[in-house]
Structure 1
Amino acid sequence: MTMTGPVDRPTTAYTVHASVTEAGAAVIEAGTQRIAFDASWGRPQPVALPGPADLLASALAACLLKNVERCSALLPFRYERADVVVTAHRQDRPPSFTRLWYELSLVTDESPRRIELLHENLRRYGTVYNTLAVVCELDGTVVAATEPSGH
């Protein structure tokens, strides 16, 4: 769905539906999928289901991987596999994320300069990336290998 934003630029809207029971079992409906998550308070860690912080880190991971795929078509950039690990650092007072860090691992035969170009594009064109970068420190690295590391 396209709408007009405050400065008359077209925007895209994303809508999800979420619900929770009194016991803290929750589900998000996004697209045609249901994502179960933990919305309970005070439950000892670790819990089986991801919580909101895990979902935020997951959104960044998904953004990075989606843009690797985007760049593979636009640049073009060849890769066999991409994996990313995202770590979110949270403080209690006031409650907020202070830092997000990622390590993107690629199996590719692209040159170091092309890998840096990919990384520049990930930072420049990632919607979730750019939104999070406004509110907390966001940084990461790209590690490339020509052979899979056994992930």
Structure 2
Amino acid sequence: MNYQIKASSISDQDAVLHIKQSDIDFGTTPKTAEILPNPAEMFLGAFAACMLKNVERFSEMLKFTYTKADLEVNAVRLDKPPRLDSINYTLKIHSSDKNLNTDLLKKNIEKFGTIYNTVKLSCAISGTIITIENV
């Protein structure tokens, strides 16, 4: 499988990722630092997207239902050399399904997530999966 994206920027303005039928703005200038995601946040967004895609994928394979998944991702950046040193996540799955085995779900996300596995080669990853009972 191969992937392709395009990106563009204009001098002294911000940039855009062009992926399939989506355009995703991101910040490259100081004037939008508090408004648009920066490249590190976009990177963490790809990590989060990988995890959430796998929640959906494994809900079918492991035969559990859920109404919603919330994910919070935090990272620590080092300055010299500039890189992400560690990532920590909390994944909350809203479900009352007794078939939901969070340990098995976590194991599968860690084993089969494309972005997850790419990132773990260069950065420590830790996290937890919590079930929130539907009412």
- Which one has the largest radius of gyration? 1
Determine the C-alpha separation between the residues in 2 that align with 1:15 and 1:45. Answer: 26
Point out where structure 2 has 5 or more consecutive residues left out of the alignment. none
Determine the C-alpha separation between the residues in 2 that align with 1:94 and 1:57. Answer: 19
Aligned equivalent of 2:24:
35
Aligned equivalent of 1:18:
7
Structure with higher RCO (Cα < 8 A, 6+ apart): 2
CA offsets per residue over residues 20-45 of structure 1, 9 Å max, x none?
111131001001100000122xx278
Point out where structure 1 has 5 or more consecutive residues left out of the alignment. 1-11
CA offsets per residue over residues 56-102 of structure 1, 9 Å max, x none?
11001100100000001111122111010111211110011000111
> Given the superposition, is the C-alpha separation of residues 54 and 19 from structure 1 closer, same or farther in structure 2, using an over 3 Å criterion?
same
**Equivalences, count:** 135
> Given the superposition, is the C-alpha separation of residues 106 and 87 from structure 1 closer, same or farther in structure 2, using an over 3 Å criterion?
same
Return the offset for 1:139.
1.1
List aligned pairs for 1:34-113, cutoff 5 A. 34-40=23-29, 43=30, 46-111=33-98
Root mean square deviation of aligned Cα? 1.8
- Normalised by the length of structure 2, the TM-score is 0.93
> Given the superposition, is the C-alpha separation of residues 50 and 23 from structure 1 closer, same or farther in structure 2, using an over 3 Å criterion?
same
- Normalised by the length of structure 1, the TM-score is 0.83
Aligned residues with identical type, % of pairs: 34
